[in-house]
Amino acid sequence: MRLTALAALLGALVLSPCHAFALSDALGSWGNAAMQDLHATYDQGQSEVFIPGYSWHDPHTYTAAKRAQLNDWAIGLGWGRIRFDDAGNSEQVYALAFSDSHHDVEPVVGYAKQFIARPFTPNLRLGIGYTIGVTSRADTMKNFPFPIALPLLSIGYRRFTLYGTLIPRFNGSPNNGNVVFLFGGLRY
């Protein structure tokens, strides 16, 4: 649990504006531009509350016995800032924690970028993009924080957005990966 708290603290420090600019100097011009972009998203964005909801475990990857043991309801809470650019695409900084597949708390701190289409009405948004961040899990590296990079899809209407990501299978062993994680976001 201490490592989980450490991951959350590290994420909060990275997202804080003062620390972000100090870190950007160490990363050079590319890092400086990235940190300024993160800072702008945090400062100019709208707040969004996240409600983690459901984890679907691929029945072709997991045995029936293992699926019966896993937690499908990823109950938790999160908060972030979202900013739409001039083209209507979005950037987010966020932090959330939820009950993972093994009923353990999983914190995530990260950044997301989505390219948004508004096919029928300005109020309806379809998004495709990615998220990068830091998480920790009891079943992976014993809660030691590690980086993640995942695809991110969304469908939104007005202030509500349903997000989904896929945690892919990285090896051929059974009972891991191919998990679809769904969560909702409400801007306020």
> Would you name the residues annotated as active-site residues?
57, 100-101
Q: Specify the DSSP element, H or E, that contains 127.
A: strand 124-135
Phi first, then psi: what are they for 111, rounded to 5°?
Answer: -130, 145
Quote the radius of gyration of the chain (alpha carbons, Å): 17
Using CA atoms, how far apart are residues 87 and 136, in angstroms rounded to an integer?
34
The helices-and-strands tally (H runs, E runs) of the chain is: 3, 8
Which residues, listed in sequence order, are joined to residue 109 by a DSSP beta bridge? 95, 134
Using CA atoms, how far apart are residues 151 and 158, in angstroms rounded to an integer?
23
Within its chain, how far is the Cα of 169 from the centroid? Answer: 18
Using CA atoms, how far apart are residues 142 and 6, in angstroms rounded to an integer?
13
